[in-house]
Amino acid sequence: MEGPDGSGKTTQIEMLKTYLESKGYDIVITREPGGTVISEAIRAIILNKEYQEMSHMTELLLYASARAQLVNQVIKPALAEGKAVICDRFVESSAVYQGIGRGLGVSTVYEVNNYALGDVKPKLTIFMDLDADEGIRRKENQTELDRMEMEDLSFHKRVVEGYRQLAQLYPDRIFPVDATLPIEKIHSIIVEEVEKRFFS
Ligand code: TYD
C-alpha cells in the first residue's frame, strides 16, 4: 500500500486485512521503515529531525537497509509459511521519495533495492492518490513532524507526481485509487481489484 503521508493507507490496510482473513488467509502486516528491531532502530535514525545533514544517498541506503532486514526476517518467512503480506509502504516509496523527490533517479533506487529485495516482489501495489496539500492538511493536527514530513510542499508535490507517473508507466503492477473518495468506497474498489487479480 503506497501513497503520500495522510492518504489513508493504514485504514485501508486494516480493512483489506479483515477482508482477506474472511477469505481464509493468514495476514502479516508490515510498515516501513520499521517492522523489526533493527529496522525500527534504522527508522529512528532516518526520521530524526536533528539529522538535517543526512545526504540523499545515505537516506536511500538506510531505507534499503531497513527493508533488507524486514524482507529477510519477516516477509520471506511469512510467504514461506503460505501467509499473505500487506506492506504499509515498500520499494515504490523509495522510488518516489528518494528517486524523484530527492532526485536520485528511479533506476538507481531500483538497482540498490534489488539487493534488499532479492526475489521478493510485490504482486500488487495499491497507490492511494491524494494531492500533496490535502495530505498535509490532513496531518495538520499532528504536533511533532518527522524529518521527511518537515520537507516543503514542493517536495511532497514531486512525490505525488512521482507516484502518478509510476502508476501510468506500470499499470500492470501499480493500481491507483482516488483517496478523496469515502473510506468504504475506496475499500470496495480495492477489493474489486484484488478479486480480479487473485481470485478470478
Ligand atoms: P511514516 O510516519 O511511517 O509515514 P506514513 O505514516 O505516512 O507512512 O514515515 C515514513 C516516512 O518515510 C514517510 O514520510 C515516507 C518516507 N519514506 C521514504 O522516503 N522512503 C521509503 O523508502 C519509505 C519506506 C518511506
Residue ranges of domains in the chain, CATH in brackets? 9-194 (3.40.50.300)
Residue 151 Cα to ligand 1 middle (Å): 12
Given a cut of 70, the residues of the chain with pLDDT beneath it are none
What does the pLDDT read at residue 98? Answer: 98
What does the pLDDT read at residue 137? Answer: 87
Mutate to test the pocket of ligand 1, among 97, 130, 152, 160 (most ligand atoms within 8 A of CB): 97
Residue 152 Cα to ligand 1 middle (Å): 15
What does the pLDDT read at residue 139? Answer: 81
Please calculate the CA angle 41-66-132 and round it to the nearest 5 degrees. Answer: 100
What does the pLDDT read at residue 35? Answer: 95
Q: Residue 117: CA atoms inside 13 Å, Cβ hemisphere, count?
A: 14
What does the pLDDT read at residue 93? Answer: 98
pLDDT digits (tens, 9 = 90+) for 31-79: 999 999 999 999 999 999 999 999 999 999 999 999 999 999 999 999 9
Residue 55 Cα to ligand 1 middle (Å): 17
What does the pLDDT read at residue 140? Answer: 79
What does the pLDDT read at residue 90? Answer: 98
3-state secondary structure of 120: coil
Residue 197 Cα to ligand 1 middle (Å): 27
Residue ranges lining ligand 1, Cβ < 6 Å:
5, 31-33, 63, 89, 93-94, 97-98, 148-149
Residue 56 Cα to ligand 1 middle (Å): 14
What gap in Å lies between CA 176 and CA 6, rounded to an integer?
Answer: 16
What gap in Å lies between CA 130 and CA 176, rounded to an integer?
Answer: 10
Alpha helix segments (H runs only) across 95-152: 106-117, 132-138
What does the pLDDT read at residue 18? Answer: 98
